[in-house]
A and B are shown apart, each in its own frame.
Chain A
Amino acid sequence: MGSACSRNRGQVVHEDQLYSVKFSKSGSFKWLLHTLSRSSSDVLRKAQGPGPGRRPSLVELCVARVREDISRYSDFSMLPRDLSQQIFNELVRCSYINEELLGAFRDCALQDICLDEYPGVKDAWMEVIASQGQSLLSVDISCSDVTDSGLNLLKDCSNMQSLACNYCDRISEHGLKTVSGLSNLTSLSLKKCAAVTAEGAKAFAKLVNLVNLDLERCPKIHGGLVHLKGLRKLETLNMRYCNGITDSDMKYLSDFTSLRELQLSCCKISDCGVSYLRGLSKLSHLNLEGCAVTAACLEAISGLASLVLLNLNRCGICDEGCEKLEGLVKLKVLNLGFNHITDACLVHLRELINLECLNLDSCKIGDEGLLHLKGLLQLRSLELSDTAVGSNGLRHLSGLRNLHSMNLSFTVITDIGLKKIAGMNSLRSLNLDNRQITDNGLAALTTLTGLTHLDLFGARITDAGTNCLRCFKGLRSLELCGGLITDAGVKNIKDLKDLTLLNLSQNGNLTDKTLEIISGLTALVSLNLSSSRVSNAGLHHLRPLQNLRSLSLDSCKVTACEIKKLQLAALPNLVSVRPE
Chain B
Amino acid sequence: CCSSSSVSLSFVVSSPLIQALAREGIQAVMVGKGGEAAASAQHKEEHEEDGDMVGVVKLISAEGFEFVIDKKAAMVSNTLRNMLTSPGGFAETREGEVRFPEISTAILEKICQYFYWSLHYASGKETAEFPIEPEITLELMMAANYLDT
A residues engaging B (CB < 8 A)?
Answer: 50-53, 55-59, 61-63, 65-66, 69, 72, 78-80, 82-83
Contacts and interface: CB of A to CB of B under 8 A. Distances in A.
A424 B149 CA distance: 48
B127 interface: yes
Contacts of B142: 79-80, 83
Contacts, number: 57
9 contacts: A55-B118, A58-B141, A59-B144, A65-B132, A66-B138, A79-B141, A79-B142, A80-B142, A83-B142
Interface string B42-82: 00000000000000000000000000000000000000000
Interface string B112-124: 0010001001111
Given A58-B141, A59-B144, A72-B134, 8 more contacts: A58-B118, A58-B147, A58-B149, A61-B114, A61-B130, A62-B138, A69-B134, A80-B142
A59 B149 contact: yes
Given A51-B124, A59-B144, A66 B137 contact: yes
A310 B149 CA distance: 47
Contact-residue size bin, chain B (C-beta under 8 Å from the other chain): 20 to 34
Contacts of B122: 52-53, 55
B134 A63 contact: no
B127 A80 contact: no
A56 B127 CA distance: 12
Given A55-B121, A58-B114, A65-B137, A82 B127 contact: no
Contacts of B121: 52, 55-56
B137 A80 contact: no
Contacts of A57: 144, 149
A85 to B, nearest CB: 11
Contacts of A58: 111, 114, 118, 130, 140-141, 144, 147, 149
Contact of A62 (B118, B123, B127, B137): B137
Contacts of B140: 58, 62
Contacts of A61: 114, 130, 132
B149 A62 contact: no
Nearest to A57: B149
Given A52-B124, A55-B118, A58-B140, A82 B145 contact: yes
Interface string B95-120: 00000000000000001001000100
B145 A65 contact: no
A79 B149 contact: no
B127 A50 contact: yes
Contacts of A63: 141
A349 B145 CA distance: 56
Nearest to B137: A65
Contacts of A82: 145
Nearest to A61: B130
A55 B73 CA distance: 13
Nearest to B141: A62
B127 A65 contact: no
A133 B142 CA distance: 23
Contact of B127 (A51, A66, A69, A83): A51
A78 B138 CA distance: 10
